[in-house]
Amino acid sequence: MSAGFRRAKIVSTIGPASWDPNVLHDLIEVGTDAVRINFTHTPTDRAAGLVRRISDMARDVGRPVAIIGDLGGPKIRVGDLPGDQLEIEPEGTYWFFPEGDDAPAGSSPHRQIPTTYPELAEEVAPGNRILLDDGHFEFAVREVSDDPPWVSAVAFSAGVLKSQKGINLPGVRVGAPALTEKDIADIEFSVEQVIDYLALSFVRQPSDLETTRQKMDRGCLLIAKIEKSQALENLAEILPLSDAVMVARGDLGVELPYEEVPMIQKRIIRLAQERARPVITATQMLESMIESPQPTRAEVSDVANALLDGTDAVMLSAETAAGGYPVQAVLTMDRIIRRIEHERLGRTGRAGKQVEGFSKIQQTTSGAIAASSLIAVERVGAPFIVTFTQSGYTARIVSAQRPSVPILAITDQWRTYNQLALVWGVQPILFHGGISYSSMLDKARDVALELGMGEAGQRFVVTAGVPFHVPGTTNMMRVEEL
């Protein structure tokens, strides 16, 4: 079981290419551990049907699948352009103004770019850069007017700009609120649907997470998407307020020089693992598989690098949402993960990367128990670790230490069962029965033997919090026998 067990998890984004029930079922069956619903592109009536379908299919397949609701956040966009597009000419001067306002006096209709952000003129200054469409178009601000509000800027790029493309303002501290009205409505929908995770886009400071948390239900976990330079500056304060993080490399690579992204990725993963926060690495991982059944070798290396960095999960975006080969993309990701973990397990005895800075968590009772469990595994030759958990906290703490053996996480909470599907090295097991140490231990033995995780007579390690039903109280470790 240890050698064939995949530790890193796969997140698949759902879209037009995977709305079909047969395709969605196949995505789950071949290895999707978490499904991402992008609220920007998915209306709530469709999302409600998807949530029900995903839950039913996960039960049918017989394993947990986490559901992630991705909030659109305060994304600044180009408004609606005449004819839905505009020709951009290099060295041409263009005028940006709030959508719905009159265009700047004297500006040519062929040089007018409406935006969804009325405060743009208040926050940029001459010399600032404006990037459109993921950096495909670059402008330098030349002049700013407050009343009426408009910005004139010189284009450096050529091409056809489409309506609703994103706007990035590198180096500018954007003052937009953390949540839009649509985000608040999507959070309310997520509470009704009991969604497992909410991902907050464009996090800039700790207060963004605090504001969002106040509107969520207590059982939902919050993912901080790191895609702004401000978030990197405040990362040490953001991590403790999140339950997980996403390295959102798309906007991050636009906000910052692209050559900095690989080292930033490594830093985010390392700091998150030190604090036992699961990490999802996202954006363009197998981008070519939108149109091709095979990935490029560079993409395979990119996925491998994220795994070697220590990420908990890798995410497919347009590959499964809009691509021509969604199921093949998941199979490809699964194949890459298994090969990398097999190689690392063979060379080091561990399938994951341990971090030196983990001592910060080890100083807590829970962290000390988790660290001790790894030592016990090595001493007694345990083939797996069992965690009894209500909230998933115990399993996440043990996972962050990247043990050499699988983690069998037993819980009687349906939501925790699904949430743990996203956590590295964890095999969640749903338990129905009396909540006592002996009954859960019997369940662990039965499941371990059924899954071929060990043989009768072998010893294994158990961690738990006593008393049960008190989340976050991991305080016990024992060695038991199959």
Local structure of 295: helix, strand or coil: coil
Residue with tokens 């608040």: 184
What mean pLDDT, rounded, does the chain reach? 93
* Total residue length of the chain: 482
pLDDT at 361 (0 to 100):
67
Cβ neighbours of residue 392 closer than 8 Å, sequence gap 6 or more: 409, 411, 416, 419, 420, 423
Q: 345: pLDDT confidence band, cut at 50, 70 and 90? A: confident
Q: Which residues, in sequence order, are bridge partners of residue 152? A: 95, 143
Domains and CATH numbers, the chain: 9-73+178-346 (3.20.20.60), 82-168 (2.40.33.10), 356-481 (3.40.1380.20)
What average pLDDT does this structure show over 439-451? 91
pLDDT in tens, 229-274: 999 999 999 999 999 999 999 999 998 999 999 999 999 999 999 9
Segment 201-218 shows an average pLDDT of 96
Q: Is the entire prediction scored with pTM above 0.85?
A: yes
Tell me the sheet residues that pair with 386: 408, 462
Q: How far apart are CA 8 and CA 405, in angstroms?
A: 13
Alpha carbon distances (Å) from 481 to 376, 386, 448, 478: 13, 12, 11, 10
SS (H, E, C) 435-461: CCHHHHHHHHHHHHHHCCCCCCCCEEE
Question: pLDDT tens for residues 11-61?
Answer: 999 999 999 999 999 999 999 999 999 999 899 999 999 999 999 999 999
Token pair of 49 as six digits: 């049907």
At 230, give phi and psi (nearest 5°).
-65, -35
